[in-house]
Structure 1
């Protein structure tokens, strides 16, 4: 059977059961099937005229319930939940999403199947989608895997087109071009630190311009 599968992660199986019950109550006659394994709930929506609408409503309900239960403490967002909620154009490496969140001032640490962060689920999903678009644009560029990851992160945090992000990183010596291929000038952690410095310089320039 064709359709859409969404995966959500909860603190325990009881929360998963409660959410599935709420979905069936709120969505009434909508066709959907739930499978609970431990802390995870897989929701399958069969293909049909209302599929897109049902998917959108399920995501909205999860987001609303999730945000209501949060405190000021770092959130534990399920990686599978973020990827299910996001409309990804191509797959992304989740560590790169953590890089982006840290760059924009949201603490983020990847711990197994969870992303511990003070970003909201909505923010994590939005940045995942931006990162996916950047990755798609860079898929056919002559970049090593780590250079592509850094360029995609740079594109998102600097708010520039992916190809321009590559040119900028090359001009700053963060990336290097050898025989037509682009790679990191240093190991990834140091390159990421240099990107952070570049981002801070740009922020300072904006502040000076606005004074």
Structure 2
């Protein structure tokens, strides 16, 4: 089991990261909350979860132990795999999800790609008992989001690809990105942030 990585961040292409750890390049999938918290380059540290399946091996990385803890709890829910758990944590941070469960906020959950009403209701029921110890940690807040961003073709393309990778349909990803494209930046990260914020 690979539980933690410390190395040089070589590439960021949401939601994938490439990290050089002593000459070995680790490909890591990260939720957008973690992705936005990392610098564009330099040394980074991630708490990780390694998933081994018959057809693939994938490493998931998180900026905090709480994010990883919630990811591990989510994938124990019937019908929720790593991809859906990643989409959930990309749409809201750990305290934000805990707040949804605490307040039975089905509407916030069904906005997440791959989460229908039945899945949302199952998440609320199954996660309520598993997250009891989180409810005493104070008011939860949604993940910080950035201002509306760029309209550069390359940034738009990268942002759309990232949203598709998170489970959104291509046509929906295009609509989301174009709805927030502005003149303030030329970074794909800003577009993704703004698009996800708009979905809340």
With the shorter chain as reference, the TM-score category is 0.3 to 0.5
In our comparison, the structure showing a higher alpha carbon Rg is: 1
The two structures have a TM-score, normalised by structure 2, of 0.34
- Larger RCO: 1 or 2 (CA < 8 Å, sep 6+): 2
The two structures have a TM-score, normalised by structure 1, of 0.33
